[in-house]
Amino acid sequence: MTWLITGGAGYIGGHVVQQLLDAGERVAVLDDLSTGDRARLPKEVVLVEGSTLDRTALDAAIRDHAVEGVLHFAAKKQVGESVEQPFLYYRENMIGLQTVLEAAAEGGVKRFLFSSSAAVYGMPDVDLVTESTPCAPMSPYGETKLAGEWLVAAAGKAHGMSTVALRYFNVAGAASPELSDAGVFNLIPMVFERLTAGRAPL
């Protein structure tokens, strides 16, 4: 099976690319490299350098590589930045997702995975968060992820795509040095920054 991974040169996307290759799957990546790194991708992986807003690039990638499934990891993800720049987040995360879904539907893609976020829950006053915990996002970032889930589900029903949305909290660790996460706003770098400064971890 051939998968198109949007944001595949990113931290999470890079790990998924490697896992799929290890499982014998065929992979193409679409990434604008605004936060992704080409060095995360094995040399044999086809990289289409482009934005999720670029319908021409998406159509070509799906057609040229006979894509059967899409794993959508490309998104803006900083909560604070989303509060300061809501237009940017709604454009990149919502219109970008819509563009990817439209290309997938018209390209005959039958499987679609959406990288959502636990930010859809906001700050729930419960000891254990489950899929049935009420959603109350507290930032434009969380709002775009929740609305994105709705859009993915609706597109799946309308176009016969099997869809799933993954909500996860802080992702940490690296399968190899090349796949490590150097982002200063991510969990592990923030913990080490505080420890180095002699401050308590988060």
**Active-site positions?**
141
DSSP assignments along the chain, one per residue = -EEEEETTTSHHHHHHHHHHHHTT-EEEEEE--SS--GGGS-TTSEEEE--TT-HHHHHHHHHHTT--EEEE------HHHHHH-HHHHIIIIIIHHHHHHHHHHHTT--EEEEE--GGGG-S-SSSS--TTSPP---SHHHHHHHHHHHHHHHHHHHHT-EEEEE--------SSGGG----TTSHHHHHHHHHHTT----
